Structure 1
Amino acid sequence: MAAPFAAQAGADFVEGDKTFGGDAELGATLTTGNTETTSIKGRLDMKHEFGNWENQYLLEALYKEDTGEVTGKRYFGLIQGDYQLTNTRYIFVNANHEIDPFTGFDSTSTVSSGYGHKFIDDGKTLFNVEVGPGYKYKRLDTESAALVGYDSEDSWVAHGVVNFETDITESSRFKQMFVADLGETFEGRSETSVTANIIGALAMKFAVIVRYNDSPLADKESTDTETNMTLLYAF
């Protein structure tokens, strides 16, 4: 699931023609007593520019526990390199890996490459699209493999990303991103978020994430949703 290089608010480290910046997110919910639940969401998103390259490095983690039972666990890592052909056109290479045992798969790995175009990039609003071929490999967990009779599946996919970001006010920003992989099955991801600055480099972020798979395993749902309220620190 690609995440395109986006305009970054906050402090940047600049050395010659090199620029580095990013943001870190953390959110947690802990309850005790009659109801005991734990929910932790973390994210580290870093961006690096040098020469004609704009690179992104992303790590995400989600963990949920209810009365001693783990009800959600997801880890995701991504690296993407964008080679700028012009100010608006670029070629991207993307690789990502996800661990989410609640889907029936031990892991999912995807690599893709293709063409990206920035239709709007004026400092306030960013609208870009990426399209290209990709390859997806999934490894089933032991229980699912026993049910279907095989332990992995792979396919070529058509990979696409649509990303829109805009400033709502001087201190708040709206983002909407769609990611889709179309092959033997269709898998999509939508992330909608609003970020509002609190003070300095510290902000509050509200996000709704929807994941869709049109051919889930027999005992799984097609759609997963995730709603987060996190603190974000830009650096």
Structure 2
Amino acid sequence: MSKFNSLSLGAVLAGVGVLACQPAFSEEPDGWAGEAAFSAGYTTGNTETTDLGLGVDVARTQGPWTIGLVADGEYGEQDGVESRNRYFLSGDVDRLLNEKLFAFGRTSYEVDQFTGFDSRTFVGGGLGYHIFDGDKTKWSVQGGPGVKIDEVKRTITTDAQGAVLIIPAETVTSFGAVARSEYAYTFNESVSVSNETDVLYGEASTQIENAASLTAAISKSISARMSFKVRYDTNPADGFEDTDTALKIALVYGFGG
């Protein structure tokens, strides 16, 4: 049975996602808005464990500009041994160019102790487009180039003859690219669904992630959320799986907006 003795969470400063779509020179009040979530989940793939998580997703709009910050982390133990320790930090800045088109800059940093990478960093930018921005349906896409830095762990493996091979740690800095799709549909004031797809390309590896969630309001500020995430790595290190899945249940506090 899993035990939890601590919970790890990272914090971030840097960069945006698409959070709001309003006319480029709106006179509406500006300010911070977002959510904080506490979750419990079950992860399979490189680790098979239950874990606890904490995440924060906030943004501030100032005229045509939006600044967004995301920080989340998960920690778990299996029979007293650490089996999950991951945190992710990202920041975005975007600017509306017209009612649909926007430019963005993005930076992200991830550490996952149970993959073949010590860390993954991306810095880049590009263009995005709001396909739908209605009361019920919202869908935006974005993408662009950048630089990806993969800190590959030292690994020990064997060759076909059974001889031990030591592959040293290395830092791979390469051309990178990011693409993201954010879709949300609101059934009524209490229930909504969303689907987010992310692609982060780099020479050492490319991560493809899809997260689908169902959110139901409990009160004005508190909601319950169930989500399912699938993550695929095109080139995992020797001895690691290429696919991870995570099923989570979360209590979400929303503010602002």
Band the TM-score falls in, shorter-chain normalisation:
0.7 to 0.9
Shift of 1:18: 2.1
Of the three residues 82, 93, 102, the one matched with 1:81 is 93
For residues 16 and 105 of structure 1, what CA distance do their matches in structure 2 show? 44
2:176 matched to 1:157? yes
**Residues 206-217 of structure 1 mapped to structure 2, 5 A cutoff:** 206-217=226-237
2:235 matched to 1:222? no
In structure 1, runs of 5+ residues without a counterpart are 9-14, 30-36
Query: Match for residue 167 of structure 1?
Result: 186
In structure 2, runs of 5+ residues without a counterpart are 1-14, 22-26, 42-48, 158-164
For residues 40 and 108 of structure 1, what CA distance do their matches in structure 2 show? 22
State the SS of the aligned residue for 2:218: strand
Shift of 1:4: 2.6
Of the three residues 56, 62, 66, the one matched with 1:50 is 62
> Could you say which structure has the higher helix fraction?
1
Give CA deviations for 1:37-65 in whole Å, capped at 9, x if unaligned: 86211101111001211121011010011
State the SS of the aligned residue for 2:240: coil
Of the three residues 107, 114, 118, the one matched with 2:126 is 114
> Which amino acid in 2 is paired with 1:212?
Y
Given that 2:222 and 2:254 are in contact with CA atoms closer than 8 Å, whether structure 1 keeps it comes out as: yes
Paired residue total: 221
**Residues 1-235 of structure 1 mapped to structure 2, 5 A cutoff:** 4-6=17-19, 17-28=29-40, 39-143=51-155, 147-184=166-203, 185-235=205-255
Given that 2:155 and 2:167 are in contact with CA atoms closer than 8 Å, whether structure 1 keeps it comes out as: no
Higher RCO structure (Cα 8 Å, ≥6 apart): 2
Distance 1:104 1:187, change over 3 A: same
For residues 224 and 68 of structure 2, what CA distance do their matches in structure 1 show? 22
Query: Match for residue 12 of structure 2?
Result: none
Given that 1:56 and 1:80 are in contact with CA atoms closer than 8 Å, whether structure 2 keeps it comes out as: yes
Task: Give the alignment's TM-score, normalised by structure 1.
Answer: 0.86
Given that 1:65 and 1:71 are in contact with CA atoms closer than 8 Å, whether structure 2 keeps it comes out as: yes
> Could you say which structure has the higher strand fraction?
1
